[in-house]
Chains A and B, each alone.
Chain A
Amino acid sequence: MSRIGVFICHCGENISRTVDVERVAREVGQLPGVAFSTDYKYMCSDPGQNLLKKAIQEQKLSHVVVAACSPRMHERTFRKAVEAAGLNPFLCEMANIREHCSWVHEDKEEATVKAVEIVGMMVERVKKNRVLPTITVPVTKRALVIGGGIAGIQAALDIADCGHEVILVEREPSIGGHMAQLSETFPTLDCSQCIMTPKMVDVANHPKIKLYTWSEIERVEGYIGNFQVTIKRKARSVDEDKCTGCGVCMEKCPVRKIPNKFDCNLGMRPAIYVPFPQAVPNTPVIDRENCIKFKTGKCGLCQKVCGPGAVDYEQEDILIVEAVGAIVVATGFDLYTIDEKPKGSLIKGYGEFGHGKIPDVVDGMTFERLASASGPTGGKILRPSDGKEPKQIVFIQCIGSRAREKGISYCSKVCCMYTAKHTMLYHHKVHDGQAYVFFMDARTPGKSYDEFWRRSIEEEEAVYIRGMVSRLYQKGDKIVVMGSDIAVGVQVEIEADMVVLATAIQPQKGADTLAQKLGISYDKYNFYSEAHAKLRPVECATAGIYLAGACQGPKDIPDTVSQASAAAAKVMTLFSKDKLEREPIVARVKEAGCVGCFYCKKVCPYGAVEEKEIRDRQGNLIKVVAYVNPGVCGGCGTCQATCPSKSVELDGYTDEQIVAMIESL
Chain B
Amino acid sequence: MNSKLNYAYYPGCSLHASAGEYDLSTRELFKELSIGLTEVPDWFCCGATPAHNVDELLSLSLCAKNLELAEQVEGDLAVACAACFSRLKFTQHTLEENATKRKQVEKAIDAPVKLDGKVKHLLEILARDLGLERLAAAVKKPLSGLKVACYYGCLLTRPPDVPNLDCVEAPTIMEDVLKAVGAETVAWTHRMECCGANFTLSRPGVVIQLTNAILDSAKAAGADCVMVGCPLCHGNLDIRQKEIEGVYSTSYNLPVFYITQLVGLACGLTADKLGLGALIVNPMPLLKEKQLL
Contact = CB atoms under 8 A, between A and B. Distances in A.
A405 B192 contact: no
Given A405-B159, A405-B160, A405-B161, A351 B169 contact: yes
B18 interface: no
Interface string A15-27: 0000000000000
A340 B189 contact: no
Nearest to B166: A343
Given A405-B159, A405-B160, A351 B189 contact: no
Interface residues of A, number: 14
A473 interface: yes
Interface in B140-172: 159-161, 167-170
Contacts of A471: 169, 189, 192-193
Interface string B177-191: 000000000000100
Nearest to A475: B189
B167 A405 contact: no
A352 B189 contact: no
Interface in A348-397: 348-352
Nearest to B220: A475
A405 B167 CA distance: 11
B206 to A, nearest CB: 11
A89 B169 CA distance: 59
Contacts of A340: 167, 170
A431 B250 CA distance: 40
Contacts of B161: 405
Contacts of A343: 167
Given A471-B192, A473-B189, A405 B168 contact: yes
A305 B194 CA distance: 63
B247 to A, nearest CB: 20
Contacts of A406: 160
Contacts of B160: 348, 405-406
Contacts of A405: 159-161, 168
Interface in B95-146: none
B159 A352 contact: no
Given A405-B159, A405-B160, A405-B161, A350 B169 contact: yes
A351 B192 CA distance: 12
Nearest to A403: B160
Contacts of A480: 189
* Most chain A beta carbons < 10 A, residue from B167, B168, B169, B189: B169
Contacts of A349: 170
B128 to A, nearest CB: 12
A351 B172 CA distance: 11
A475 to B, nearest CB: 8
A475 B169 CA distance: 19
A348 B192 contact: no
A348 B170 CA distance: 10
Contact of A348 (B168, B189, B193): B168
A346 to B, nearest CB: 13
B203 to A, nearest CB: 15
A340 to B, nearest CB: 6
A480 B189 CA distance: 10
Interface in A114-153: none
A340 B166 CA distance: 12
Contacts of B170: 340, 349, 351-352
B49 to A, nearest CB: 20
Contacts of B189: 471, 473-475, 480
B152 to A, nearest CB: 12
Contacts of A351: 167, 169-170
B132 to A, nearest CB: 15
Contacts of A348: 160, 167-168
Nearest to B187: A357
A484 to B, nearest CB: 13
Contacts of B169: 350-352, 471
A471 B170 CA distance: 11
Interface in A250-297: none
Nearest to A353: B169
Nearest to B193: A471
Contact of B192 (A350, A352, A474): A352
Interface in B9-62: none
Contacts of A352: 169-170, 192
Interface in A319-353: 340, 343, 348-352
B194 to A, nearest CB: 10
A343 B167 CA distance: 8
A349 B167 CA distance: 10
A607 B161 CA distance: 44
B213 to A, nearest CB: 10
Nearest to A340: B170
A471 B192 CA distance: 9
A352 B189 CA distance: 9
Nearest to A405: B160
A480 B160 CA distance: 24
Contacts of B167: 340, 343, 348, 351
Contacts of B159: 405
Contacts of B192: 352, 471
Interface string B197-228: 00000000000000000000000000000000
Contacts of B168: 348, 405
A407 to B, nearest CB: 10
Nearest to B188: A473
Nearest to A480: B189
Interface string B75-93: 0000000000000000000
A353 to B, nearest CB: 9
Interface in A457-499: 471, 473-475, 480
A266 B160 CA distance: 34
A271 to B, nearest CB: 35
A312 to B, nearest CB: 47
A475 B159 CA distance: 27
B266 to A, nearest CB: 27
B177 to A, nearest CB: 17
A473 to B, nearest CB: 4
Interface in A23-74: none
A475 B193 CA distance: 16
Nearest to A357: B187
A343 B168 CA distance: 12
Nearest to B159: A405
Contacts of A350: 169
A64 to B, nearest CB: 44
A414 B275 CA distance: 57
A405 B168 CA distance: 10
Nearest to A473: B189
Nearest to B171: A351
A351 B191 CA distance: 13
A351 B175 CA distance: 15
Nearest to A482: B193
A474 B189 CA distance: 8
B24 to A, nearest CB: 34
A406 B159 CA distance: 12
A289 B169 CA distance: 36
Contacts of A475: 189
A340 B189 CA distance: 16
B137 to A, nearest CB: 25
Pick from B159, B160, B170 the residue with the most CB of A within 10 Å.
B170
22 contacts: A340-B167, A340-B170, A343-B167, A348-B167, A348-B168, A350-B169, A351-B167, A351-B169, A351-B170, A352-B170, A352-B192, A405-B160, A405-B161, A406-B160, A471-B169, A471-B189, A471-B192, A471-B193, A473-B189, A474-B189, A475-B189, A480-B189
Complex A-B, nearest 9 residue pairs according to Cβ-Cβ distance, in ascending order:
A351-B170, A405-B160, A473-B189, A352-B169, A352-B170, A340-B170, A351-B169, A351-B167, A340-B167
Given A343-B167, A348-B168, A474-B189, 20 more contacts: A340-B170, A348-B160, A348-B167, A349-B170, A350-B169, A351-B167, A351-B170, A352-B170, A352-B192, A405-B159, A405-B160, A405-B161, A406-B160, A471-B169, A471-B189, A471-B192, A471-B193, A473-B189, A475-B189, A480-B189
